[in-house]
Structure 1
Amino acid sequence: MLNMSVDEMDISQTPSFRNDFKQDLKFDASERTYFKNSYHSVQLLEDLQSLRKNEVLCDIRLETDDGTIVFGHKNVLVAASPYFGAMFSAFNESNKNLVNMREINSDVLQLIVDYIYTGEILVTNENVQVLLPAANLLQLDYVKSACAEFLRTQLNPSNCIGIKVFADLYNCTDLMSSSNAFINKQFLEVVKSDEFLCLSYENVIQIISSDDLAVPFEEKVFEAVINWVKYDLNQRKDFLPNLMEHVRLPLIASKPDVLKNIVEEPLLKNNPECNKFVLEALNFHLQKSIQHFIISHSIRCKPRQFDSLKKIILTFNWSDTMPKCYTEWYDPATNLRRSAPEMKDSRRKSGVGVIRDQFVFVLGGVNSSSAQSVNMLDVSSPSPCWVPMVNMLVSRAYLGVGVLNDCIYAVGGFHGFVSVNSVEVFDSSIQKWRMVTSMTTNRSLLGVGVLNDHLYAIGGFDGYDSLKSVECYDPLLDTWTPVAELSVCRNSVSIGVLDGVIYAIGGIDGSVNLKSVEAYRPSDGVWSFIADMHLCRNNSGGVVSLDGLLYVIGGESEESVFDTIEVYNPKTNTWSLRKLSRNNNNVADIKVHCGVVVNRPPYLTN
């Protein structure tokens, strides 16, 4: 290119400006097209970065305490960072071309200014602890998020507590949540770290009070507390009573050898305030050995809640050739079935309910000997077994069961050969049954759903016809109220509840087995059809919600459904069909009829 000044250039002499150019170009006046250069912003940043590195048109110098100077353009810095925006518009620095950046070291400042001009940032183990605070100061959200994501990938038992404290300091909420979840999941490894032993008393309580600790045995929490106290005994021994308040000793009481070691622990033995927690555990164990079933309102008697991976399904299986009811643990993640405590009789056509994902109740059945009886299984017991509970007031088969506020409702069913509308409730606090207001309609073979602290009695058989009516029970008012009817009649219907929606699944319309499914939202007040299942199913008492999905287990129909599960995904409105793995029993014709979701028993390994 010729070297000349702007004044020396005469653009009128270029071809576009020559007066003798007479060609007329004809256009359609309505035609116009917008063009966008997708590389424009990238090229612009590259050119700006080049100008900055060559110190061209730079109007600001940023100086760190070690004397390093980083050049830049005020308008670029202002566009990228609210911090610089305030600095160069409202503060003393607005008219300066040299600003001291005392809060940030030179390496990090260079990284950040490079990021502003390139959109790229390098995060390492060495710089993340200074880069994140700097990004927080300069209000560079992307860099801050990048640092937090980097730290999340580096979580391990030896650093997760420190990362959690760091995340809390700079209000990285997602990283805080990830750190908490990691600590809960890896608790047994975390408590071995120096970070745990050096924690403050308040932070120890924050960890051990969590319901989500993944501890198979509560004594591990006790051991962690004792180790923390002994690490600096003189300074920490006075904290022990407050720490023991969050150790759930009653859950250990069923293990005499473990409890003996706790009773003999000198730190507890010599502390009267701690003795009350030991006595509470002993009394709880004594009471439980007599009554089998206790729901205490004390947090120390409440099992820790494992994450969804710790849930499992308890299935109820029958054989045409054997009189017993076989139960199995079914893990949907692995499709494995393992033997669970069996019941002595068949309990066919009974109702099943679960309190707190721990206490499984089986109510009634078709046999005269079991029509009023109730059996209970505590899945948290080290050696779970079915134990008899207080009989119902009315014999019932083909009944509906709902659990609400730690109370079990036995709804309708056949009393002998007659459909009834009576309802009774088992109050777990006093372990007694009492009658409540009857439904407006006789119903057997019904489904029961629980939503928003109300019971819904859905469909069923009144002794003459299949029903599509639905009624709702308010326990505070002790009243039943009719609500929107189903789209079709359904007896032997299965009910699932997930994310505020009630699902009526399959059943029988008169004499026809159904694969159709309809959903009900109380706010909408109508039932509407969703995607059909693959197979017709009725009498499937096993509909459970787990990990945002509905599982429909077993059931009956003219097709073979006993060894299949259908899984509904509400996000895609689709059903998938799964084949159950073979069971471990020697009974050839065993069939899965229903199931309930429960906490994984502590003795059951993954």
Structure 2
Amino acid sequence: MFLPVKSNQRARLTVAFSHVLFRSTEASGNNEDVTTTSNNSTQTPSDLSPPGPNEEVLPQAHHQNPGHCIASFAAINQMRTNAQLCDVRLEVGVETIHAHKVVLASVSPYFYAMFNDDMLERTQGLVRLHDVDYTALRQLIDYTYTGEITITEQNVQVLLPASGLLQMHSVRDACCKFLLRQLHPSNCLGIRSFADAHSCKELHTRSHKYALQNFQQVVGTEEFLLLPFDEVKDLISNSQLNISSEEKVFVAVLNWVKHNLATRQIHIAELMSHVRLPLVSRDFLMTCVESETLIREDSSCKELLLEAMKYHLLPEQRSLMSSQRTQERRPEGMKPYIFAVGGGSLFAIHNECEVYNPRTNAWTPVAPMLWRRSRSGVTALHKQLYVVGGYDGVSDLSTAEFYNPLTNKWTNITPMGTKRSCLGICSYDGLIYVCGGYDGASCLSSMERYDPLTGIWSSCPAMSTRRRYCRLAVLENCIYSLGGFDSTNYQSSVERFDPRVGRWCPVPSMTARRSSCGVASTDGHLYCIGGNDGTMCMSSGERFSLRRNSWEPIAAMHSRRSTHEVVEVDGTLFALGGNDGSSSLNSVERYDTRLNKWTVVNAMVARRSSVGAAVLECFHLERGLVQTTNL
């Protein structure tokens, strides 16, 4: 085609339409080709009429067909099916597949090197492949022409190694992702072994993590019983093992050994050294561990048993017996949650409980307590939440119970030796300490502690002051008791108990009298917030510096609060519920210790004065709540 020659231009010959852009116009349902001209205008072919006498002639236009590659590859694939223009045959066993070298080389670096480098197969029309499954190869060759492949439970175990051999990484990655979606306690160990054999690092890491997180279900599978010794040891020695109690690990080891006793008995001592026997309950230690023949007949196992018994018998010396076996396992993914327990509003005493996720700023209900309680003591220990004493609307209580977040259930434990409401409580070194409070007749100064391993309450030295509505906190291996009411005066006094020497000693008093205040410790400081000074509920707060041995004021809360709770999460304080002098509160505030600033966050569902609260680290709590609720 010749273009007209203008007077000020030299004549030139060009092709008017060297390239046309094709687009699918979905809005109009029109699949016409679209032309993009050099001046960026876009027109359909029907609009490209010859220019008028006074219009500028367009020098060029572009044509592109987006479906070109798809149509071309479909045609090439059809030629492969008909064995047309094929220049290579792939032989696996007695089976042969026709293909085109250029297509194979464009998708597989393995074939690219084979057909381009100085290799024997470069000039051959027949290539014999070894160590590859024919069905997998057939599917992968189909994929090179179509870009599509179907991965199933039946073919993934041959597709993954074949795609790895041919360096078809996108298919290999798709196989790994498919296996990740198939993870289950019954197959995670097998998938982990398969991933290790084929160097799938991410799949191996995530399947191993899955086995750790679901260990309690994994140990009941045949895959676990068939594991080699080294892999069993690798699992049970891991500090991130997710278990409800160490008893589960002991039973798992015994079951594995007894599955093939003749060859596995020699490993029992080494495996038991990774079971944290000091952390099992005394009943289990005496009825299951001590009576087990395999333990009694092995001298190393007997030493481990004696170590555990000593740990149980001498709770005051546990800090001196610290070792890997006395450390609680902490699964990866454990996150802190704030539990609000019981309390009262108007004339009602609650047994309802709720939990707050600081990361989502949301409250969720959990199972109610077995008893209605306000003015109780709440603390967390060994992945469980303990609630002690309190008032049920009729009498003060000595009963206690604990909550297991894995089952979303409450269970009774041994009652205290004394009825206590308005008590102080904390956990330290594997023990729960309670002191002060009110027994229905008088304010108390007595102290007792509970050992979850033995289920026994023991008396401890009493405080020097009677304290009702006192609060306890742990700072630098000592227990601090703050404020309260001694039946005559509201207290500003503070005293400190050192469990290592078993003695109370005075600490500088607070700047204000505070009963029913909120107390928490973080970063070398003891915080005391709100409370009642005998004339009104307070919003002010102060903190004690252990280094300076003195108190200093902090910013006041937005609301006046007494009978509330203060808890610490990752260096941040939360004040929950309580009473402002006229009504029960459900509001919650967060304190930033660095900025010295309070911020209001989402309120609790229920109004709760005399509330109990504690922080408990849980693993996927919301998911567990949904599962247990649906049971």
TM-score category by the smaller chain?
A: 0.5 to 0.7
Q: Distance in 1 between matches of 2:620 and 2:223?
A: 40
> Does the CA contact (< 8 Å) of 1:133 and 1:170 recur in 2?
no
Corresponding pairs, count: 516
> Does the CA contact (< 8 Å) of 1:451 and 1:497 recur in 2?
yes
- State the partner residue of 2:379: none
Q: Distance in 2 between matches of 1:485 and 1:300?
A: 44
- State the partner residue of 1:189: 220
Q: Find 1:284's aligned residue among 297, 304, 311.
A: 311
Letter in 2 for 1:185: Q
| Inter-CA distance 478–130: structure 2 relative to 1 (3 Å threshold) | farther
TM alignment of 1:433-444, pairs within 5 A: 433-444=504-515
- State the partner residue of 1:351: 424
| Inter-CA distance 441–10: structure 2 relative to 1 (3 Å threshold) | closer
- State the partner residue of 1:256: 286
Greater mean deviation of Cα atoms: 121-130 or 250-259: 250-259
Structure 2 runs not aligned, ≥5 long: 1-14, 19-44, 56-63, 336-365, 367-381, 624-628
- State the partner residue of 1:526: 597
Is residue 2:577 matched to residue 1:506?
A: yes
Q: Distance in 2 between matches of 1:209 and 1:523?
A: 38
Letter in 2 for 1:256: M
TM alignment of 1:169-184, pairs within 5 A: 169-171=199-201, 172=203, 173-182=205-214, 184=215
Q: Find 2:176's aligned residue among 137, 140, 147.
A: 147
Q: Find 1:366's aligned residue among 415, 418, 438.
A: 438
Is residue 2:485 matched to residue 1:414?
A: yes
Deviation at 1:328, TM superposition (A): 4.1
Q: Distance in 2 between matches of 1:391 and 1:175?
A: 52
> Does the CA contact (< 8 Å) of 1:460 and 1:490 recur in 2?
yes
Letter in 2 for 1:276: E
- State the partner residue of 1:244: 272
Letter in 2 for 1:469: S
Is residue 2:82 matched to residue 1:52?
A: no
- Once the two structures are superposed, residues 271-316 of structure 1 have per-residue CA deviations (whole angstroms, 9 ceiling, x without a partner) of 544442233234334435xx79888523334566698999554445
> Does the CA contact (< 8 Å) of 1:252 and 1:258 recur in 2?
no
| Inter-CA distance 399–322: structure 2 relative to 1 (3 Å threshold) | closer
> Does the CA contact (< 8 Å) of 1:460 and 1:468 recur in 2?
yes
Q: Distance in 1 between matches of 2:141 and 2:98?
A: 8
- State the partner residue of 1:124: 152
| Inter-CA distance 105–335: structure 2 relative to 1 (3 Å threshold) | closer
> Does the CA contact (< 8 Å) of 1:447 and 1:459 recur in 2?
yes
Q: Distance in 2 between matches of 1:176 and 1:436?
A: 50
- Once the two structures are superposed, residues 305-342 of structure 1 have per-residue CA deviations (whole angstroms, 9 ceiling, x without a partner) of 69899955444542343343443445678876654443
Q: Distance in 1 between matches of 2:116 and 2:530?
A: 70
SS of the counterpart of 2:314? helix
Q: Find 1:321's aligned residue among 370, 394, 402.
A: 394
SS of the counterpart of 1:277? helix
TM alignment of 1:298-337, pairs within 5 A: 298-302=323-327, 313-315=385-387, 316-329=389-402
TM-score scaled by length of structure 1 = 0.67
Deviation at 1:393, TM superposition (A): 3.8
Letter in 2 for 1:155: H
| Inter-CA distance 230–529: structure 2 relative to 1 (3 Å threshold) | closer
Greater mean deviation of Cα atoms: 245-254 or 300-309: 300-309
SS of the counterpart of 1:261? coil
| Inter-CA distance 130–362: structure 2 relative to 1 (3 Å threshold) | same
Deviation at 1:365, TM superposition (A): 0.8
- State the partner residue of 1:445: 516
| Inter-CA distance 301–327: structure 2 relative to 1 (3 Å threshold) | same
TM alignment of 1:375-390, pairs within 5 A: 375-381=448-454, 384-390=455-461
Q: Distance in 2 between matches of 1:90 and 1:431?
A: 81
| Inter-CA distance 418–63: structure 2 relative to 1 (3 Å threshold) | farther
Q: Distance in 2 between matches of 1:405 and 1:64?
A: 73
SS of the counterpart of 2:530? strand
SS of the counterpart of 1:354? strand
- State the partner residue of 1:199: 228
Is residue 2:189 matched to residue 1:164?
A: no
Q: Distance in 2 between matches of 1:274 and 1:298?
A: 17
Q: Distance in 2 between matches of 1:64 and 1:405?
A: 73
TM alignment of 1:62-77, pairs within 5 A: 63=90, 66=93, 68-69=96-97, 71=99
| Inter-CA distance 416–322: structure 2 relative to 1 (3 Å threshold) | closer
Percent identity of paired positions between Structure 1 and Structure 2: 26
| Inter-CA distance 178–392: structure 2 relative to 1 (3 Å threshold) | same
SS of the counterpart of 1:54? helix
Deviation at 1:364, TM superposition (A): 0.9
> Does the CA contact (< 8 Å) of 1:11 and 1:17 recur in 2?
no
Letter in 1 for 2:276: R
Q: Distance in 1 between matches of 2:620 and 2:183?
A: 31
- Once the two structures are superposed, residues 526-575 of structure 1 have per-residue CA deviations (whole angstroms, 9 ceiling, x without a partner) of 2112234454433212354565899xxxxxxxxxxxxxxxx9x9xxxxxx
Deviation at 1:186, TM superposition (A): 1.9
SS of the counterpart of 1:279? helix
Q: C-alpha root-mean-square deviation of aligned residues, in Å?
A: 5.0
Deviation at 1:84, TM superposition (A): 6.3
SS of the counterpart of 1:108? helix
**Between Structure 1 and Structure 2, whose CA radius of gyration is higher?**
2
- State the partner residue of 1:231: 260
Q: Distance in 2 between matches of 1:71 and 1:474?
A: 78
Letter in 1 for 2:467: R
| Inter-CA distance 324–273: structure 2 relative to 1 (3 Å threshold) | closer
Deviation at 1:375, TM superposition (A): 2.7
Greater mean deviation of Cα atoms: 54-63 or 147-156: 54-63
